[in-house]
Structure 1
């Protein structure tokens, strides 16, 4: 590649963490990804970063007889990785694919702050409630889709996302890159503020809320709840005393984490949502939330940000 394109800089990475850090710093125009990497759960983070940076990519198979990871993963059914190369393909074929993908129309990647959120930021006084969100498989891209619609002065928002232990800070940086509001990693005893989004992901502690005002985050060690640390159920359950001040949603994900806590919140007077089946990568957590009556309404991903913000004004 370097011989074919004078001045090109090629970065090599032998693990996803290295690849993620390099991509975040260098913002490459293209990535060749060994197909084995795409089978890892953490590749969801790479996909989201590629999407945020408009980095084109293609999976490279061991040989033509191999089964592409996208055949088994709903995360890889769409996107730039839909076609594959193999390690036996000629350098000319790699170069041709690179040319085709890089020359395709690119998005306008103007700065996120002030650009997102659909116009002028809403005054903080418009919002009377705070927002809780839980997500898992497919949730990284879902969170990007939702939070890009939040204004700079959004309601205090707390999020639990299931992800690999080394990718929590990467997720925070990624979301902060595209959000008008300030996205931060959850820390213990942080006062909840307007315009801030607190994310618990890849941590060894559960995130919840203190039981007295002013409301603060609470990080607590303990065994997995509903199979996860941090757990969506732990977050939702901790907010039950504030029921009527809560708007909560469960996004795409495998399993049932969050459904029990969402039901408790609904019984306490909270407004509750679940992502609908059509827009979910994995309709597991939202399905349980809907079928158990924990969610009052199913909402498409495209309409989720508006639904949450509107409910927070009620």
Structure 2
């Protein structure tokens, strides 16, 4: 029997520490080895207890969670899950934390801490996946591609990602040229964070990055991030079509779902390129298979460059992935697949 995942909870709220402890301790495969009210105590506990995973509050007195995360990733890189309030400030800091190497994030309720227990199964799965993840120290800086190159086809690029995907998308989207084909992205993320994520990506990219809005027409040089929470994102109307957001039930536990996006883009046949990046679970595998069977070019991130080799593995084992590539090779490979 494998050893339980050892977790250190760092949060200045005693009630939140108690709730997280109760949620995580309900799983026999997880052991909460310590609870710290602030980063200075947490630093000593990390040295003494050697946890597998740290849950870290974004906002704490003395030293904020982001500053503490930077120290962890510099001095003792390890899997960290950020806990953030559903505020604009919380979203901004969380996006930066994920960019710096935090594995994932959970949204803390603004009122009753017990509300977080509704997602107990997801939190426990997240912690166990984090313990198996490959820690990264910030996004890989990829050389920007000068242009899409000659012979560009009229195509649409669809990308799906989950755990570790924020880092990966900063790398891939940041390398794309201003004239690239339209890109549709589903990144599993709390609803309050996707707008801030799109804004941050937009500031650091040569393409325009926006949070998708229903009815928005797609165009070259623009990346559309699916809004979190209430809707699935689909493409309708072909390569000159528009965004459709549908408030239907979650698919595979996700809304928005990568599978839903990929199935909609599969209607384009050979005029589509599908990409599946790092992430926990299997969302996107069936949709990418539908794209490949329809004639689209498909690719997946390889194991060595993934934070969590879950979604790409599921797609590869299903036969949906035409080529497996490192994150470094991904931007040029995507653009090459768009050429005649």
TM-score class, shorter: 0.5 to 0.7
Secondary structure of the 1:219 match is: strand
2:20 aligned residue: none
Q: Which residue number corresponds to residue 300 of structure 2?
A: 274
1:117 lines up with 2:144 in the alignment: yes
How many aligned positions are there? 240
C-alpha deviation, 1:41, in angstroms: 6.7
Unaligned 5+ runs, structure 2: 1-55, 73-78, 85-92, 102-126
Separation in 2 of the partners of 1:250 and 1:76?
Answer: 17
CA 1:189 to 1:299, structure 2 compared with 1: closer, same or farther past 3 Å?
same
Q: Deviation at 1:149?
A: 1.3
| 1:302 corresponds to 2:328 | yes
The answer to whether the Cα contact below 8 Å between 1:202 and 1:230 also exists between their aligned partners in 2 is yes
Give the whole-Å Cα distance in 2 for the aligned partners of 1:302 and 1:191: 30
Corresponding residue of 1:227: 253
| CA positional deviation for 1:213 | 6.4
1:154 Cα offset (Å): 1.0
* Alpha-carbon displacement from aligned partner over 1:56-107 (angstroms, at most 9, x marks no partner): xxxxxxxxxxxxx999546683438xxxxxxxxxxxxxxxxxxxxxxxxxxx
* CA-CA distance at 1:126 after TM superposition: 2.8
Give the match for residue 154 of structure 1. 180
RMSD of equivalent CA atoms: 3.3
- Any conservation in 2 of the 1:237–1:265 contact (CA below 8 Å)? yes
**TM-score normalised per structure 1:** 0.68
Is the 1:49–1:174 contact (alpha carbons within 8 Å) kept by the matching residues of 2? no
Query: SS at the partner of 2:245?
Result: strand
Tell me: CA distance 1:286–1:49, structure 2 relative to 1, closer, same or farther (3 Å). closer
Match of 1:39 in 2: 81
Q: 1:45 Cα deviation (Å)?
A: 2.6
Structure 2: distance between partners of 1:143 and 1:296: 20
CA deviations 1:244-267 (Å, max 9, x no partner) are 100001000000000001001111
Who is 2:291 aligned against? 265
Matches within 5 A, 1:99-178: 117-119=144-146, 121-122=147-148, 126-178=152-204
The aligned counterpart of 2:339 is: 313
Q: What does residue 33 of structure 2 align with?
A: none
Does 2:137 correspond to 1:79?
A: yes
TM-score after normalising by structure 2: 0.63
CA separation of 1:223/1:171 partners in 2, compared to 1, >3 Å: closer, same or farther? same
Moved >6 Å (runs of 4+):
41-44
Partners of 2:261 and 2:67 in 1: how far apart?
A: 37
Deviates more, 1:243-252 or 1:168-177: 168-177
Change (3 A) 1:31 1:237: same
